[in-house]
Structure 1
Amino acid sequence: MSVDSNAKSSDESAIINEQQPKHNFQLTQLVPNVPLRVDEHSLEHSYVFSYFMRPQGKFDPEDYAMYVQPISKISSVEQFWQVYRFIKRPSEITEKVDFHLFKEGVKPVWEDPTNRNGGKWILRLKKGLSSRIWENLLLAMIGEQFLVGDEVVGAVCSVRNQEDIVSLWNRSADSLPVTNRIRDTLRRVLNLPTSTILEYKRHDDCLRDQRSYCHTSASVGQQAHPHHQNHHQQQQQQMGAGGGSRGGVK
């Protein structure tokens, strides 16, 4: 299914709840769930927008899931645009924050039963480049452009000081045909230059690192899963001596 950006609903008042407080850091307005209308274009799956912002003071990374805040559930193209327009774009944000869009019922953490045997493709971006990439990734995901059945479960955009990190999560890290197809589709739908580095990271590797999120620490030089060893070797050759894994996205 192709998601047309021109399909935005004109019924703006339906999603603005003046009684709901705004987040004090103004990343988004709280958006109440809106019933699906019969004339809307239903998505194959329902999704939930959410975000994570590290709390002040002492923080145990294992408590990441406790601090994930839902924004709204979406089940149609129109609902996507109704909610998405209230969320600041990554390039407009100065705070460190993770934005998620995951299938309903799946938590954006490695430990979720759906994610335990999975992994993610990671794309590192220079500041200012992530807003377009993030939007195109979301549209491709909810529009079922990856053609790998129920494999794709969600996407994350991590806004950081020096770079932004976009990742796409899937269920089965051991399936090389699936992960390769997702990679190739990512390059196509995001219109990535051939020199762009995409890294695959297994969730169980992240768990062994004893962190609750590894968007900012994933390194191409780390031990890769055997099925992806050749891919990582190619990435290292592309990287040269720099050691980073930034995507050359224009």
Structure 2
Amino acid sequence: MNNKFDALKDDDSGDHDQNEENSTQKDGEKEKTERDKSQGSSKRKAVVPGPAEHPLQYNYTFWYSRRTPGRPTSSQSYEQNIKQIGTFASVEQFWRFYSHMVRPGDLTGHSDFHLFKEGIKPMWEDDANKNGGKWIIRLRKGLASRCWENLILAMLGEQFMVGEEICGAVVSVRFQEDIISIWNKTASDQATTARIRDTLRRVLNLPPNTIMEYKTHTDSIKSLIMQPDLQPPGDHQDKTWHRAT
């Protein structure tokens, strides 16, 4: 597990693949293994709570992505850029991952952490996401780490009380501000989206004048088609988002 986090911390170099060009056969096997893992291979051993651990209602997976701003990104290249950190099934397993991870406030560049239910990829096009949407909030620099921790703890603790509607959460680190969002399955269910909004305000202790926006993934995809250089599929930066004050 530590090796995975070491690789994550060193990701800024962007030259991990180049350093191993000479070992073509081993690299090919290694890439295939990683690809199988990222696609949720059915051969992978199921993650279960350990003895005496406190099980979560759902298994969750941490993901990490980083990209160069302004560079057009296809759906395929975006999917290849998402790195799966690991899956956990209990409170104790969550803390073993989280305690080794870099805090969002310490990340640089265009970086994202994603925490989604196991089996759901952090992409608009995933079957669990395609009919859904997300609540999105822009944050001043310095707030992302605390807000992210409060958000994911509320999600893991089932504080949103909307059944199976929650898909996952994202924190997006940008140069001048940071963005958090929570994704749900059914954008057309206004009662559910309203409950998620109200819970989000409470768990993040947002000021009353904070402006939040709900955006469907269908609209995000339309924006991408109309402005292909604006953002890659599944990315969470949007020029229409509002700042939390």
Instruction: Place the TM-score, normalised by the shorter chain, in its bin.
Output: 0.7 to 0.9
Cα distance in structure 2, aligned partners of 1:139 and 1:80: 10
CA deviation digits over 1:80-108, x for unaligned, max 9? 11000111111111221111000000000
Cα distance in structure 1, aligned partners of 2:107 and 2:3: 23
TM-score normalized by structure 2? 0.77
Letter in 2 for 1:22: A
Of 3, 25, 42 in structure 1, the residue corresponding to residue 11 of structure 2 is 25
Letter in 2 for 1:247: A
Cα distance in structure 2, aligned partners of 1:196 and 1:56: 27
Of 214, 219, 222 in structure 1, the residue corresponding to residue 240 of structure 2 is 219
- Whether the 8 Å contact between 1:206 and 1:214 is mirrored in structure 2 is no
Task: Spell out the pairing of 1:78-93 with structure 2 (5 A cutoff).
Answer: 78-93=92-107
Matched, 1:175 2:189: yes
Alignment match, 2:59: 46
How far does residue 34 in structure 1 lie from its aligned partner after superposition?
Answer: 7.4
| Greater Cα shift, 176-185 or 52-61 | 52-61
How far does residue 67 in structure 1 lie from its aligned partner after superposition?
Answer: 1.3
Alignment match, 1:234: none
Structure 2 counterpart SS, 1:65: helix
CA deviation digits over 1:176-206, x for unaligned, max 9? 0000000000011111111111110100001
Matched, 1:116 2:143: no
How far does residue 213 in structure 1 lie from its aligned partner after superposition?
Answer: 3.6
Alignment match, 1:195: 209
Cα distance in structure 2, aligned partners of 1:17 and 1:61: 29
- Whether the 8 Å contact between 2:69 and 2:110 is mirrored in structure 1 is no
Alignment match, 2:79: 65
CA deviation digits over 1:32-86, x for unaligned, max 9? x976312000000000001111269965232312211000101111111100011
Residue correspondences, number: 204
- Whether the 8 Å contact between 1:49 and 1:99 is mirrored in structure 2 is yes
Cα distance in structure 2, aligned partners of 1:42 and 1:26: 34
Please state which structure has a larger fraction of its residues in helix: 2
Structure 2 unaligned regions, length at least 5: 14-45, 225-231
Cα distance in structure 2, aligned partners of 1:17 and 1:203: 34
Task: Spell out the pairing of 1:88-167 with structure 2 (5 A cutoff).
Answer: 88-167=102-181
Identity percentage of aligned residues: 49
Give structure 1 regions of 4+ aligned residues with deviation exceeding 3 angstroms. 15-18, 55-59
CA deviation digits over 1:118-142, x for unaligned, max 9? 0000010011111000000000001
Structure 1 unaligned regions, length at least 5: 1-14, 28-32, 221-244
| Greater Cα shift, 99-108 or 89-98 | 89-98
Cα distance in structure 2, aligned partners of 1:161 and 1:57: 13
| Greater Cα shift, 53-62 or 165-174 | 53-62
- Whether the 8 Å contact between 1:201 and 1:218 is mirrored in structure 2 is no
- Pairwise CA RMSD: 2.4
Structure 2 counterpart SS, 1:48: strand
Structure 1 counterpart SS, 2:136: strand
